[in-house]
Amino acid sequence: MTRNLEWKTHALLVPIVLFAACGNVLLGKGMKQMGNAPRLSVVALGTIFLKAFGNVWIWLGIGSLLVFLVAFMVVLSWADYSFVMPVSAASYALVPLLSRWLLDERVNPMRWAGVSLICIGVALVTRTPASGGERA
């Protein structure tokens, strides 16, 4: 694996992690504004679905997830799936970190433990070469 390929992989993993985290946070924010479905009927779900299309946060979330998806597909054109998959999980660790730093929310010890495990896991995986090559 050349240094160039290694650099390209890491450069793409940054937007993958950032846009996946932002996409989920934005979608969550948008959906919270939709309110609860009074009951789980097809009509109630349909109404929420239609309302969601008028919400700017939902569109920002969908846009972020589309950027994530394109970057994910592009990086998989050369990098191992078993490398990209665990490293992209860093987006889950980013959400509590962002809510602690930006929104000043309290994060309980169990969440900190989860964030730490993910960070150590990602650190281990990134020490392996990103592309070992598919034999098939």
Give me the residues that bind another protein (CB under 8 A), please.
5, 40, 70, 73-74, 76-78, 80-86, 89, 92-93, 96, 108, 110-111, 113-125, 127-128, 132-136
56 versus 117: smaller Cβ distance to another protein: 117
* DSSP 8-state class, residue 105: -
Q: Taking the CB of residue 107, how many other CB atoms lie within 10 A of it?
A: 14
56 versus 97: smaller Cβ distance to another protein: 97
52 versus 115: smaller Cβ distance to another protein: 115
Whole-number minimum distance, CB 69 to another protein, in Å? 9
Q: Name the nearest CA neighbour of 87 among 122, 132, 123, 116.
A: 122
Whole-number minimum distance, CB 33 to another protein, in Å? 20
Whole-number minimum distance, CB 58 to another protein, in Å? 17
**Hey, CA dihedral for 126, 60, 99, 36, is it positive or negative?**
negative
How far is Cα 128 from Cα 121, in angstroms, rounded to an integer?
12
Inter-residue contact 6 to 13 (CB < 8 Å): no
